[in-house]
Amino acid sequence: MRTINFYSGPSLLPNEVREQLALGVIDYEGKGFSIAEISHRSQTFLSILEELTHLVKTLLQIEQTHEVVFVQGGGRQLFAQIPMNFLNTTETAGFIDTGYWAHKAMQYASYYGNTICLATSKNEGYNHIPTVDKEKTKGLKYVGITSNNTVFGTQYKTLPKVFCPLVVDMSSDIFSITRNWNEIDLAFACAQKNVGVAGMSVVIIKKEFLATQQKNLVPVFSFQNLIEKKSNDYTPPVLSIYSALLTMRWLKNLGGITAIEQYNAQKAQLLYTAIEESTLFLSLIEKKEDRSVMNVCFYGANNKIEQDFLQFCEHHHIMGIKGHQEALGFRASLYNAQTLDNVLALTHAMNTFEEKY
């Protein structure tokens, strides 16, 4: 029996991706070898990388404007690698602090250059997306934001307007929502939510912005170098890359980002409505437009209710809904691979629990 999985990352894979990945590890397309057993310089693997890069560009409709590269490591690594590539000690990057990850990204950037916090919702428990005076972004090397706050459950539905390049951590909502890529100079996402198996990140860089990269970087950290080498300089994380290809094929077959966006909205609507109609559970994100479609964070009316509901979920094979240690409460992650059936199972559990309570 499959459990009902709401983990925030690593998280659920689409069923067919999970199955094809398993097959590929045992015997890749019936060729008599595992995808994990062949050289990253072999034609088979080169074709995987090429198709993956092409699919990412076409799904996002950025064929002409942006470069796409896959790098070893996760989100935190990019918090360092981006300023390493684009910030020096005479320059300043601005950050909008929407919570845990945005804050960490700013801290990491301060190792390479100057940083400034343009706005924060910290004093209100990160319960909304703070607004920023566009004038304050003049002269900055870039502004860094987190499009979806995985920990507190807020999300930019439209990106903020700035007078400088915009760098977006899309770790927890890439490929789930239509974005205006003209406004995005660099975006990155660790794989383990909407892309595939943990171990790498996808980085998307506008060509004009790439031209402003620092000189004399160690090649393994230089985006320019990794793009020239077509994401195949050091040995790439082959399983993570193969899983990403399977996910992108799956997404394309579903109808791409506009199709998954509608499905995601349906799942989130169902869960937020259940929270609103409940007397035991509540959401702290008051502005509906700020509520995340990917990570629904909610709380029990008191500690006892939270403990009892966690036990109730465990009993009903619902896993991974405990909130992040900074936010506490509950968090149900509704990434692209999450199913409406699973969300229905959760709302049903909430209703049953409430009736019994």
Q: How far is the CB of 215 from ligand PMP (least distance, A)?
A: 27
Cα gap 205→30, rounded to integer Å: 36
Cβ-based nearer residue to ligand PMP, 74 or 329: 74
Q: How far is the CB of 199 from ligand PMP (least distance, A)?
A: 9
Cα gap 342→5, rounded to integer Å: 8
Residues interacting with ligand PMP, by CB under 6 A?
9, 74-76, 101, 146, 150, 169, 171-172, 190
Backbone angles phi, psi at 176, to 5 degrees: -115, -10
Cβ-based nearer residue to ligand PMP, 146 or 278: 146
The CA-CA-CA angle for residues 66, 67, 70, to 5°, reads 135
3-state SS track over 11-71: CCCCHHHHHHHHHHHHCHHHCCCCHHHCCCCCHHHHHHHHHHHHHHHHHHCCCCCEEEEEE
Cα gap 48→271, rounded to integer Å: 37
Residue 149 contacts residue 173 (beta carbons within 8 Å): no
Cβ-based nearer residue to ligand PMP, 150 or 278: 150
Q: How far is the CB of 50 from ligand PMP (least distance, A)?
A: 25
What is the chain's Cα-based Rg? 21
Cβ-based nearer residue to ligand PMP, 195 or 227: 195
Q: How far is the CB of 324 from ligand PMP (least distance, A)?
A: 9
Cα gap 175→160, rounded to integer Å: 19
DSSP code, position 288: G
Cβ-based nearer residue to ligand PMP, 295 or 347: 295
248 closest CA partner among 97, 58, 110, 113: 58
CB atoms within 10 A of CB 311: 11
Residue 116 contacts residue 159 (beta carbons within 8 Å): no
Q: How far is the CB of 210 from ligand PMP (least distance, A)?
A: 22
Both structure tokens of 79: 């918090």
Residue nearest to ligand PMP (CB): 74
Cβ-based nearer residue to ligand PMP, 24 or 74: 74
Q: How far is the CB of 25 from ligand PMP (least distance, A)?
A: 22
Cβ-based nearer residue to ligand PMP, 67 or 169: 169
Q: How far is the CB of 201 from ligand PMP (least distance, A)?
A: 7
β-partners of residue 92 are 114
Cβ-based nearer residue to ligand PMP, 190 or 296: 190
Q: How far is the CB of 245 from ligand PMP (least distance, A)?
A: 19
